[in-house]
Amino acid sequence: MSSELGRLIVVSGPTASGKSTLCHRLVQRSTVDFSVSATTRAPRKGEKDGYDYHFVTEQQFQEWVASGAFLEYAEVHGKHYGTLRKHVEASLAKGHDIVLEVDVQGAEQLKDCGLPIISIFVRPPSLEILRQRLRDRGTETEEQMNLRLAVVEKEMTFAKDYMHQVINDDFSRMEAEVEDLLGYTKENA
């Protein structure tokens, strides 16, 4: 890692843009953590509580909102998602970078949190390819998929507010680009 202080690596992008895969690759490093968010949405097939998300009730989520447990939180696709402050602070205190996969509203709130941030927006090569990837993933119903596609174009208008934009035309190429801009080398992978 190029910096002694930990940083918040904020990653956003449309659904099925490849941002989750990118985040999981980055956190394979021993000094890079993943911020496990809380959410009120139901787990998808294969997702594990405490690993992919902390899956919580609306009541639990609202208690955490009230107690200031979230560094940021937002409503996305009709469900709540939030970054737990204590996870982020623990990582930074260790000098680790921490990857936050958040939507555009979350990234906007994090801009003013006073912590060192690098923000990255992952763009799909085209909307048509994104649509196809989403169909191939097959984890959403047609109705859920349409809801997600409806917000994609709006999300893309926020890309310019990020410090970096990368295009997922080829995953390995994009991953190398991100490693480079974060100052990561293959040696610390």
**Residue in 53, 38, 47 with CA at minimum distance from that of residue 85:** 38
Q: Strand pairing of 97-101 and 32-34?
A: parallel
Q: What are phi and psi of 122, to 5 degrees?
A: -95, 120
**Cα–Cα distance list, 54 to 39, 51, 155 (Å):** 6, 7, 24
Stretch that binds ligand 5GP, among 58-66, 79-87, 129-137, 180-188 (CB under 6 A): 79-87
What is d(CA 84, CA 69) in angstroms, rounded to the nearest whole number?
Answer: 6
CB of 83 to ligand 5GP, least distance (A): 4
Q: Is the CB of residue 122 less than 8 Å from the CB of residue 171? A: no
Q: Is 74 in the site for ligand 5GP (CB under 6 A)?
A: yes
Stretch that binds ligand 5GP, among 58-66, 70-78, 121-129, 177-185 (CB under 6 A): 70-78
CB of 105 to ligand 5GP, least distance (A): 5
Q: Name which of 75 and 183 has its Cβ closer to ligand 5GP.
A: 75
> Of 9, 10, 69, 83, which one interacts with ligand 5GP (CB under 6 A)?
83
Q: Strand pairing of 79-84 and 117-123?
A: unpaired
Residues 90-149 that bind ligand 5GP (CB under 6 A): 101-103, 105-106
CB of 98 to ligand 5GP, least distance (A): 12
| DSSP structure class, residue 43 | P
CB of 81 to ligand 5GP, least distance (A): 3
Q: Name which of 75 and 170 has its Cβ closer to ligand 5GP.
A: 75
Residues 31-50 that bind ligand 5GP (CB under 6 A): 37, 41
What is d(CA 115, CA 5) in angstroms, rounded to the nearest whole number?
Answer: 10
Q: Name which of 72 and 97 has its Cβ closer to ligand 5GP.
A: 72
Query: Nearest 5°: CA angle at 103, between 135 and 39?
Result: 85
State the greatest distance between any 2 C-alpha atoms of the chain, in Å, as a whole number: 46
Binding site for ligand 5GP (CB under 6 A): 15, 37, 41, 72, 74, 76, 81-83, 101-103, 105-106
